[in-house]
Every structure is written in C-alpha cells, then in structure tokens.
Amino acid sequence: MAKTISYITGSQLLALNPHPNIAIIDVRDDERSYDGHIAGSLHYASDTFSNKISNLIQDVKGKDTLVFHCALSQVRGPTCALRFANYLEEMKEDVGIKNILVLERGFNGWEASGRPVCRCTDVPCKGQCA
C-alpha cells in the first residue's frame, strides 16, 4: 500500500503506458469533454471524487500503480491522489495498489509536449484512440 505520493514525468508515463498494471486517473472536471484525454484513462471528476472512491477501487482491480492528473497537476491531481491514499490507509485492506503517482505538469504539459491525446467520447475510454 502506498504511503507517499510521488511524481512521474510524461516521458516516464509514456514509456510505461499501456501497461496492464497501470491505471491513469483523470480528475479534471468538464474540461475533459472538450480538451481530450490520455487514451485509456479513467475519469473521476475532482468535484465528486470523494463520493466515488469505492467505485474507483472496483475499476482499478488488478492494477498496482495509479497515476493521477488534472490540467496542471498542481491542486486537483495531487489532492485526489492524497485522498485516495488516505482512503486506502483507513480501509486497512490490501487492494494491491503499491504506487500512487501524480503526472508532472498534468494533462496540459502532456499535450504541450506533443504526446498522444485521445478525443473519443467513449465512457470509459477504451484506449484505442487514433
């Protein structure tokens, strides 16, 4: 179980993704619908995140690394990652999650660096975006 939250760069994430043990958690609110997203990411908007943590645990079964991000990963991404880590700590049940990370520079940094952006409207994104 994760005790601390670390950061991962876009390059590091790109090298790891897609990997069957990693889940990318997009906590942006409405901007995901018009800015696009990282292919295969799960959307858990920050404004309702706390109410849906148990759903997230179900959605990430079998994953050992979660990477959270928002637009810039300065407030919403780190806050939700910390909430999730605290929730796991309080659960006192091992759900197999070993690493909780935050994407450095968030989605905006990911996109600005020319990394792939998916604009599908599938919920959830199937990760097969052109």
State yes or no: is 129 an active-site residue: no
**Structural domain of residue 41, as residue ranges?**
5-118
Residue 125 and residue 46 in contact, taking contact as beta carbons nearer than 8 Å: no
**95 inside domain:** yes
**92 inside domain:** yes
Marked catalytic residue, from 70, 80, 118, 125: 70
Residue 111 and residue 117 in contact, taking contact as beta carbons nearer than 8 Å: yes
- Cα-based angle 122, 33, 107 (whole degrees, multiple of 5): 105
Q: Give 3's pLDDT tier (boundaries 50, 70, 90).
A: low
* CATH number for the domain harbouring residue 67: 3.40.250.10
Per-residue pLDDT of 72-94, as tens digits, reads 999 999 999 999 999 999 988 88
112 vs 4, 12, 34, 117, CA distance in Å? 28, 16, 16, 10
DSSP state letter for 45? -
**Minimum mean pLDDT range among 24-28, 118-122, 125-129:** 125-129
Does 50 or 122 have the greater pLDDT score? 50
Q: Give 1's pLDDT tier (boundaries 50, 70, 90).
A: very low
What's the total number of domains in the chain? 1
